[in-house]
């Protein structure tokens, strides 16, 4: 994570536990040029390093799963 005055922010630990929409909005506000990708925990992803991408790992069930 960058410290103030040391360049652009690269990590957002303060977003752990926040809503997905809120996390995405905060990242885009801090670094509008980044692509924010929402990824379910356990998903297979590419191993490449992309300076223009942030992966937001999610694992929360938001509503009761039900038939219908």
10-62 pLDDT, tens per residue? 999 999 999 999 999 999 999 999 999 999 999 999 999 999 999 999 997 77
> φ, ψ for residue 38 (rounded to 5)?
-90, 125
Enumerate domains of the chain plus CATH numbers. 1-68 (3.30.10.10)
Q: Give yes or no for residue 5 having a pLDDT over 70.
A: no
Q: Rounded to two decimals, what is the model's pTM?
A: 0.80
Per-residue confidence (pLDDT) for residue 29, from 0 to 100: 98
């Amino acid at each position: 994570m960058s410290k103030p005055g040391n360049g652009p922010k690269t990590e957002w630990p303060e977003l752990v536990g926040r809503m997905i929409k809120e996390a995405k909005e905060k990242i885009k506000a801090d670094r509008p040029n980044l692509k924010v990708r929402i990824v379910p925990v356990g998903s297979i992803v590419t191993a490449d390093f992309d300076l223009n991408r942030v992966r937001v790992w999610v694992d929360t069930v938001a509503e009761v799963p039900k038939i219908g």
